[in-house]
């Protein structure tokens, strides 16, 4: 922070009485002259300059940080996606155990996923041997082996 002090000019009040001898006319022996000067106290005006520090984005450092941290982010997100997928497959198996069979529509409603995704999950379980596929088209159901 920087301070600038500026002084304002001063005016002074001074009274001086100057006495001049003058010719005495009608009993007025001395003429008085009064001079006045106005004086005011010094005013100091302080101006403050505020400087803010702004962080500068360093693109090179950001890219380097991303390169070092990205593999761990990718690994963490991959494991999260895999964990969620396994949980969804377990939900389908639990529904199949409960009702003895599951259709594509039931899996879709149970998981809140699209028709194609539900079909994909049921196909994965069938490929793993955890469910058996019966029927074709709309009549397709998946049963426990």
Ranges 44-53, 78-87, 112-121: which has the least confidence: 44-53
Q: How is the chain split into domains, by residue range?
A: 2-49, 84-145
The matching CATH number, chosen from 2.60.120.260, 2.40.50.1020, 3.30.70.1140, 1.10.10.10, for 84-145 is 1.10.10.10
CB 125 within 8 A of CB 131: yes
Cα separation, 142 vs 131, in Å, equals: 6
Q: What's the start-to-end Cα distance of the chain, in Å?
A: 79
- pLDDT digits 0-9 by tens, 85-137: 999 999 999 999 999 999 999 999 999 999 999 999 999 999 999 999 999 88
User: What three-state secondary structure class fits 54?
Assistant: coil
The answer to whether the beta carbons of residues 26 and 13 sit under 8 Å apart is no
Sheet holding 141-143, edge to edge: 101-103, 141-143, 132-134
């Amino acid at each position: 922070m920087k301070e600038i002090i500026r002084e304002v000019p001063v005016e002074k009040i001074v009274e001086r009485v100057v006495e001049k001898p003058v010719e005495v006319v009608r009993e007025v022996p001395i003429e008085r002259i009064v001079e006045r000067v106005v004086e005011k106290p010094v005013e100091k005006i302080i101006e403050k300059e505020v400087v803010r520090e702004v962080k500068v984005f360093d693109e090179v450092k950001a890219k380097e940080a991303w390169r070092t941290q990205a593999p761990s982010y990718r690994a963490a997100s991959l494991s999260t996606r895999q964990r969620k997928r396994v949980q969804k497959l377990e939900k389908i198996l639990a529904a199949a155990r409960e009702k003895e069979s599951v259709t594509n529509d039931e899996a879709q409603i149970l998981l809140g996923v699209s028709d194609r995704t539900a079909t994909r999950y049921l196909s994965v379980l069938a490929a793993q041997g955890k469910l058996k596929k019966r029927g074709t088209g709309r009549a397709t159901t998946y049963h426990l082996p």
